[in-house]
Structure 1
Amino acid sequence: MKIVYLIADGMGGWPLDALGGKTTMELAQTPQMDDLAANGIVGVAQTVPQGMQPGSDVANMALLGFDPSVYHTGRGPIEAAAQGLELAPDDLVWRLNLVSVSKLTIDGIMRDYSSGHIATEVSRPIVENLQKKLGNETYTFCPGIQYRHLLIQKDGANSDEAALHINPPHDITDKSIKYDLRAFSRCPDLWDLVFEAKDLLHDRTFNTSKANSIWPWGQGSPLNLPNFEETFGLKGAVISAVDLIKGLGHASGMSVIDVEGANGLLDTNYQGKVDAALKFLEENDFVFVHLEGPDECGHGGNAADKIEAITRFDAKIVAPLREALKNEEIAWIVTCDHFTPIAERTHTTDPVPFLLNGPGCPSSKVDAFSEDTACSSGLVLNDGYTLLSYALKQFGLK
């Protein structure tokens, strides 16, 4: 038996009056997920432990079977693992966004957490130049992809900076940055770095993109996860456009498959992800396929685009995988990591809907896969990191 684990990032949401009291998940065309749900188990899982921030880092760590309250150190360290960076135990790793703010003052507003979804070929030279101009014995700028980069603070794990709470920029779109600037101001070296970077980014000979500030956040010490194969007895891979999923894969000893053209947006390379999953499953047990699109549309506050993203997930990921594997013994897990409601434009801690379809799974007979049908089943996993173990037990694999 092989296991296909499909994640539509941020797919869950809340009913909207403008949509007739429906959610975007309910309005999306999802015949494949509906069929899997009707002939399998549905329920909800609390992927974000109480007291933790509802980020994709926390939630996807839980979906892979690792308790975030035990293993999570920060967003930055996960993405550093994706890049294979060599870190000292006392290093502090920051996620670094290139952002657009109205102005970098206490009455400034976060305009765009992604600087217009800046392309990697544009952002990478910017970060490389920041390193040349501002990098020093304490701070190292590490280029990543699109707006997602890293800042390494040498020997920072025990510094005042380690305890700072900086809002994820996608949590404060069109909101004040006052709280965060006050936090930065408590650490003079970091404060100086942020403002020196702002001055460089305003130099149009240095930068012609929408990015006008750096935003360090999600800091933590290096990540250490148990080995996935040793823990679950499955040889697995992760497939995603985003570094945090790749980082979780690298840190747990899974295969990490890069797909050309996978970009985390509506126009991602769906077929490339499908082909990569099928190829891996020819000789292996488990594949975790992650699609970022619904989450990005949720952050954008665009209901029509989010409906389209969920519809494409069903039609371009779930459907071709089911067709290609119809003669194989396959167990399916389909879910999202967290909600990204249109009204909030950021993540929430709501328990997420999931479906299990495979050996040992009785028919739920629900008429669709949605937040409501999953919740009405009465099956609740209060510790979301147990979802994978629960599924393996249902499938007779544990």
Structure 2
Amino acid sequence: MKVLYLVADGMGDWPLEELGGRTPLEAAETPHMDALARTGIVGRCKTIPDGMAPGSDVANMALLGFDPARHHTGRGPIEAAAQGLKLDADDLVWRLNLVTVSQLDKDGFMRDYSSGHITTEQSRPLIERLQRKIGNDVYEFVPGIQYRHLLIQKGGALTDDAAMVINPPHDITDKTIKMDLRAYSRNPELWDVIFHAHDLLAEDNPTKANSIWPWGQGRPLMLPDFAETFKLNGAVISAVDLIKGLGFASGMKVIDVEGATGLLETNYDGKVRAALEYLKTGDFAFVHLEGPDECGHGGEIENKTEAIRRFDARVVGPLREALRGEDVTWVICCDHYTPIVERTHTVDPVPFVVNAPGVQPSGLEFFNEKTADSTGIVVKHGHELLGFALKQAGILS
């Protein structure tokens, strides 16, 4: 039996007046998810362990079956795994955003966590320039994708910086950066790196990126082998390094799709083709779409609703059609909520549907947050959802 795990990042939301009291998931046309819900099991899953921040790093690690409370070291280390970086055990790996701030002082505000969704072609020269000008034996700038990059601090895991609390930039859009600057100031060397980068980005730079933002730091990541743990050969398909890093760290196949952007406009068809091609020989495909999350962070009601519609029409639908008549276990969910009114992640338990031959049908007419809550089915620990689905399918005893 094949297993398809489809994740629409940040799809969950709260009711909105602008949508007549509906969520974007309720407002979007989702006939394929609705059909799978009618003949599947629908419920809620708590993807964020108590006391942990509701990030995609924590939530997707859980969805892949690994307990974040045990294995999570930070967001930066996951993305370093995606790049196959050779790291020492005492390295501290920071996720590094190129951001737009109003001003880099105590009166400044975070204006854009993505520098206007800067492209990789625009951002890579900036990061490479920062490495030439500022990089040294302690701090190394590593280019990534779009606004998402890395800063390696040699020996940093042995310092107080490992416990430094910095807000993810997408959590503080249009909010003060005062407390974060106060935290950075506890390390004069890091402080100098940040302010020197700010000065360099002001020179001959046509993009909106005017500052760097190190956050999500931790030691190098180690995960159990996915195939040994679940007795399945698996692959991840995503535009973002975070998901790729989880795949690399757990020994899964990581499939790159040309034209996959992590935005509303992405290569949906390419992701579908990649999943189908892999499942000719593999057992498990984890297909991740970032679009709903990015629209949630942007506070874009219409675009988020459209991102969900496209997920259903251009991913779920074509996969259902291509696999019609075959024994398939479907798991569909989001990793966390990204409510429009908050413009950041929350810890709400996410709606999910598990559909496999022989499961007890829910009989629900629609798949959304409200109907998922109505069933009373709750998976209390996110890393148990995959096992729950495999047991329902008879793959695990």
1:130 corresponds to: 130
CA offset digits 1:155-205 (Å, max 9, x no partner): 10011211100000000001110110010011111111000000000112x
1:177 corresponds to: 177
Query: Offset at 1:135?
Result: 0.3
Q: Which amino acid aligns with 1:365?
A: G
2:288 corresponds to: 290
CA offset digits 1:22-66 (Å, max 9, x no partner): 101100110000000011000000000010000000000000000
**Stretches of 4+ aligned residues off by more than 3 angstroms:** none
Q: Which amino acid aligns with 2:324?
A: K
Query: Offset at 1:17?
Result: 1.6
Compute the RMSD of aligned alpha carbons: 0.5
**Cα distance in structure 2, aligned partners of 1:31 and 1:63:** 24
Moved more, 320-329 or 331-340: 320-329
**Cα distance in structure 1, aligned partners of 2:222 and 2:94:** 16
Contact 1:359 1:396 (C-alpha < 8 Å) held by counterparts: no
Match of 2:208 among 210, 214, 223: 210
Report the secondary structure of 1:157's partner residue: helix
2:52 corresponds to: 52
1:189 corresponds to: 189
Moved more, 57-66 or 375-384: 375-384
Match of 2:385 among 384, 387, 396: 387
1:342 corresponds to: 340
**Cα distance in structure 1, aligned partners of 2:136 and 2:242:** 26
Q: Which amino acid aligns with 2:33?
A: M
**Cα distance in structure 2, aligned partners of 1:360 and 1:288:** 22
Contact 1:6 1:289 (C-alpha < 8 Å) held by counterparts: yes
Q: Given the alignment of the two structures, is residue 162 of structure 1 paired with residue 171 of structure 2, yes or no?
A: no
**Cα distance in structure 2, aligned partners of 1:93 and 1:17:** 41
Query: Offset at 1:122?
Result: 0.5
Query: Offset at 1:367?
Result: 1.1
**Cα distance in structure 2, aligned partners of 1:158 and 1:16:** 46
Match of 1:274 among 240, 252, 272: 272
1:397 corresponds to: 395
Query: Offset at 1:20?
Result: 1.1
Give me the identity figure in percent: 68
**Cα distance in structure 2, aligned partners of 1:170 and 1:232:** 34
Q: Which amino acid aligns with 2:22?
A: K
Query: Offset at 1:360?
Result: 3.1
1:120 corresponds to: 120
CA offset digits 1:369-389 (Å, max 9, x no partner): 000100110001111110000
CA offset digits 1:224-244 (Å, max 9, x no partner): 000000000000000000000
1:309 corresponds to: 307
Query: Offset at 1:359?
Result: 2.0
TM-score, reference length from structure 1: 0.99
**Cα distance in structure 1, aligned partners of 2:196 and 2:163:** 22
Q: Which runs of 5+ in 1 are unaligned?
A: none
Report the secondary structure of 2:270's partner residue: helix
Report the secondary structure of 2:248's partner residue: helix
Report the secondary structure of 2:281's partner residue: coil
CA offset digits 1:227-279 (Å, max 9, x no partner): 00000000000000000000000000000000000000111000000000000
Query: Offset at 1:103?
Result: 0.3
Q: Which amino acid aligns with 1:47?
A: T
2:84 corresponds to: 84
**Cα distance in structure 2, aligned partners of 1:191 and 1:137:** 16
**Cα distance in structure 1, aligned partners of 2:101 and 2:209:** 8
